[in-house]
Amino acid sequence: MRLGYTVGIAAAYQVTDGTGRRGEARKLINKVRPGQWMRRRTGHGAKGTREYDWAWLDVRPDDAPDENENENENENEREAGTSVLVARRHRYTGEVSYFRCWAPGDVPLGTLVEVICLRWRIEETFQLAKGFTGLDQGQVTCWNSWMRWSLFSLIAAAVLALTATVVHDAAEDEPALVSLSCPELIRLLRALVLPPPVRERDHVLHWTAWRRHHQAVATACHQQRHHRHDQP
């Protein structure tokens, strides 16, 4: 059983298309017609939804490493899967990123996009753990102490994420504010709970609401820009 993958590649990476022509990814993707690019929502950021234009092109799986002794059997197994070059284009700047994808069966573009975008969520989670729960601050000298430090940091990050989710579900009647994020939750904990409070509770909550309100305004403006850009 072979394992499917999606890997980010450089624009100059060499791939072979279905006709046997070999060339750089940025040149072969030019075969995709303008009407074949599909816009898909790829996540939610600080300013609202992320949307990119996506396209794919069938390529030959001739760059995958051989794992079986029988080369003919290995080649037939590859040909039965989905081997494509996927391109992601920024809707405003036109910047294009490329991904080399292979799967052992028929896979739609939407599934490949979801797998590619998982990287953003993983990176955001690591940034949260490093910036707010000290994942990268453990000065340890042995395996056991490193594992303990990492475990406690990840547990703290999980508690933050779950708490932010619970608060979001309980505050759906506040349309003028964005959802409570983990960084904003950390600010509240540091100001009101963890150390002795240095400011009054009402003062801290006022500035929390102020930041979240302006983030909500920025999100609305971001969505309006998307809407105007999509108008014919």
224 and 181 in one domain? yes
pLDDT at position 88 over 90: yes
Indicate whether this model's pTM tops 0.75: no
Q: Which domain holds residue 104?
A: 5-119
102 and 25 in one domain? yes
Residue 125 domain flag: no
**What's the pLDDT band for 98 if we cut at 50, 70, 90?**
very high
22 and 71 in one domain? yes
- Give the burial string for 129-144 (b: 16+ CB within 10 Å, else e): beebbebeeeeeeeee
108 and 139 in one domain? no
Residue 112 domain flag: yes
pLDDT in tens, 136-193: 887 777 888 888 888 888 888 888 888 877 776 655 555 677 777 777 887 887 777 7
149 and 112 in one domain? no
140 and 111 in one domain? no
Q: Please tell me whether residue 177 adopts helix, strand or coil conformation.
A: coil
16 and 88 in one domain? yes
Please give the tally of structural domains in the chain. Answer: 2
Token pair belonging to 15: 């791939």
